[in-house]
């Protein structure tokens, strides 16, 4: 029997399984004791949180979602989402980059298990993912997830411009990615690209998910990195010039990524827990600050002002709404959700991505001028929180677009 939690996790208090309690305690302790104090450094330097990754590796959290049959911790989708929110509470950039790595294990693991495949594809996938999981479990390998190209591809509205051409024994990759979090830090880059069939008719159904080793010839990283927020993600540009990778690097059989994106919409929801964590951090800070209890700050109480009490109440109401939607959405995440479940998923994503920035805005306003100084975390949380709603394929705008259209039109319906 695991001991009850002695803290309220970022996701809120729920009926956790013993494994969830144990893992949440691990994530909370790592975040509170190690990641929180380092977060300002990664932000200031726009440098990758290598020290946090050493700790994640040591704690077994790089293999969190690798099935137990392959030496991992075998955590399911909801458990990952809870932990990511907890880590995001202490370091947004660590949580967001950890998401890219974990997705490479969830997509090939629990998500792939829920996607229809022929027996032949299933056998091919089982053999290939063994290699991929082995690298993570045995060698502590870290994976990035570069999809974005600055075109409609990452929005799911066009084929990826990066191509893979079949050659003897493997694939030849050409193209360019932008916004590749973990650039320079990952051992492998899980690239989405379109199979080049030589017919000049690229088709999104031919999307391939292939891992490119950081050491591959023809692979390079370039560009400046000096963004507003999430600076520790170090999301620079990648170029692939006739990069050869062997067949074994294919992370999903041909055609399966396209099916997966349609079958498992919750695969894109995994960007949101980082921002639920950031929202919690801003709320936690505000309560501490107004009570005059921030370590190292003068013990000036500001809680006696009714306007500040009202703002804290507003922040709490918004945070509770975000947590409720989020926790419902992670529990009902599955292949082929119903229309209501899909709408709730979109609503949860939107509420978290826009809500995180709202909460940070209210926090700064009510804590007041001194709270925005750089030695305190609030201004960083505010900047980090702005980034979530920009992330494809589910930007805040594209969520509104999908929800409106999918509410008013049933699949296949058109106006005359
Ligand atoms: C901190 C951070 C880390 C990131 N890490 C990664 C990463 O690891 N891997 C990765 O792949 N990406 C990553 N991204 C990129 C992110 O997912 C988006 O691709 C990126 O923010 C889009 O920027 P853009 O300027 O190209 O966007 P936009 O120009 O807004 O979008 C690109 C294209 O998408 C289409 N589009 C956008 N909005 C709409 C709309 N409303 N309606 C119709 N079409 C639309 C258009 O074709 C548009 O040209 C990261 C982003 C951030 C902020």
SS3 annotation, 35-89 = HHHHHHHHHHHCCCCHHHHHHHHHCCHHHCCCCHHHCCCCCCHHHHHHHHHHHHC
Q: H or E stretch including 188? A: strand 188-195
Q: Which mutation among 389, 390, 402, 405 tests ligand 1's pocket best, with the greatest number of atoms within 8 A of CB?
A: 390
Q: What is the dihedral of CA 90, 92, 94, 96, to 10 degrees?
A: 140
- How many angstroms is it from 103 CA to the middle of ligand 1? 18
Q: What is the dihedral of CA 337, 343, 349, 350, to 10 degrees?
A: 170
Q: How many residues does the chain have?
A: 416
State the pLDDT at residue 3. Answer: 75
Residue numbers of the chain with a pLDDT score lower than 70:
1-2
Ligand 1 atom nearest to 181, measured from its CA: 8
Contacts of 222 (CB under 8 A, 6+ apart): 236, 237, 239
395 lines ligand 1 (CB under 6 A): yes
Q: Do 158 and 204 touch, CB atoms closer than 8 A? A: yes
- How many angstroms is it from 390 CA to the middle of ligand 1? 6
398 lines ligand 1 (CB under 6 A): yes
Q: Which mutation among 392, 403, 404, 405 tests ligand 1's pocket best, with the greatest number of atoms within 8 A of CB?
A: 392
Ligand 1 atom nearest to 144, measured from its CA: 8
183 lines ligand 1 (CB under 6 A): no
Give nearest CA residue, ligand 1 atom 27: 150
- How many angstroms is it from 211 CA to the middle of ligand 1? 21
- How many angstroms is it from 156 CA to the middle of ligand 1? 11
State the pLDDT at residue 1. Answer: 59
Q: H or E stretch including 136? A: helix 119-139
Give nearest CA residue, ligand 1 atom 34: 152
State the pLDDT at residue 4. Answer: 86
Q: Summarize pLDDT for 178-197 with one digit per residue, the tens.
A: 999 999 999 999 999 999 99
Q: Summarize pLDDT for 206-233 with one digit per residue, the tens.
A: 999 999 999 999 999 999 999 999 999 9
State the pLDDT at residue 208. Answer: 97
State the pLDDT at residue 200. Answer: 85
């Amino acid at each position: 029997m695991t001991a009850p939690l002695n803290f309220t996790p970022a996701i809120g208090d729920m009926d956790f399984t013993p494994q969830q309690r144990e893992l949440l305690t691990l994530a909370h302790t790592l975040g509170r004791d190690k990641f929180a104090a380092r977060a300002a450094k990664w932000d200031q330097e726009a440098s990758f949180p290598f020290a946090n990754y050493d700790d994640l590796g040591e704690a077994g959290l790089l293999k969190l979602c690798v099935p137990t049959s392959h030496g991992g911790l075998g955590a399911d989708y909801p458990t990952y989402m809870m932990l990511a929110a907890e880590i995001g509470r202490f370091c947004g950039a660590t949580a967001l980059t950890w998401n890219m790595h974990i997705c490479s294990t969830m997509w090939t693991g629990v998500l792939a298990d829920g996607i229809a495949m022929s027996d032949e594809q299933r056998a091919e996938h089982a053999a290939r993912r063994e290699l991929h999981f082995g690298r993570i479990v045995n060698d502590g390998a870290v994976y990035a997830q570069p999809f974005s190209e600055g075109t409609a591809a990452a929005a799911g509205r066009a084929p990826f411009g990066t191509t893979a051409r079949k050659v003897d024994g493997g694939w030849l990759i050409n193209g360019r990615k932008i916004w590749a979090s973990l650039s320079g830090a990952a051992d492998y880059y899980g690239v989405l690209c379109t199979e080049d069939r030589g017919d000049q008719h690229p088709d999104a159904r031919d999307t391939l998910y292939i891992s490119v080793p950081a050491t591959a010839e023809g692979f390079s990283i370039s560009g400046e990195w000096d963004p507003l927020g999430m600076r520790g993600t170090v999301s620079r540009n990648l170029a692939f010039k006739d990069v050869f990778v062997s067949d074994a690097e294919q992370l999903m059989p041909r055609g399966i990524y396209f099916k997966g994106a349609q079958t498992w919409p919750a695969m894109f929801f995994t960007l949101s827990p980082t921002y639920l964590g950031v929202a919690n951090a801003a709320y936690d800070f505000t309560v501490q600050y107004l009570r005059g209890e921030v370590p190292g700050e003068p013990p000036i109480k500001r809680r006696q002002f009714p306007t500040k009490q009202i703002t804290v109440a507003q922040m709490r109401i918004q945070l509770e709404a975000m947590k409720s939607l989020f926790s419902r959405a992670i529990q009902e995440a599955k292949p082929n959700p119903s229309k209501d479940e899909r709408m709730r998923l979109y609503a949860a994503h939107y509420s978290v991505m826009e809500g995180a920035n709202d909460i940070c805005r209210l926090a700064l306003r009510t804590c007041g001028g001194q709270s925005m100084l750089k030695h305190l975390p609030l201004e960083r949380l505010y900047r980090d929180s702005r980034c979530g709603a920009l992330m494809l394929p589910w930007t805040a705008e594209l969520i509104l677009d999908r929800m409106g259209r999918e509410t008013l039109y049933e699949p296949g319906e058109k106006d005359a």
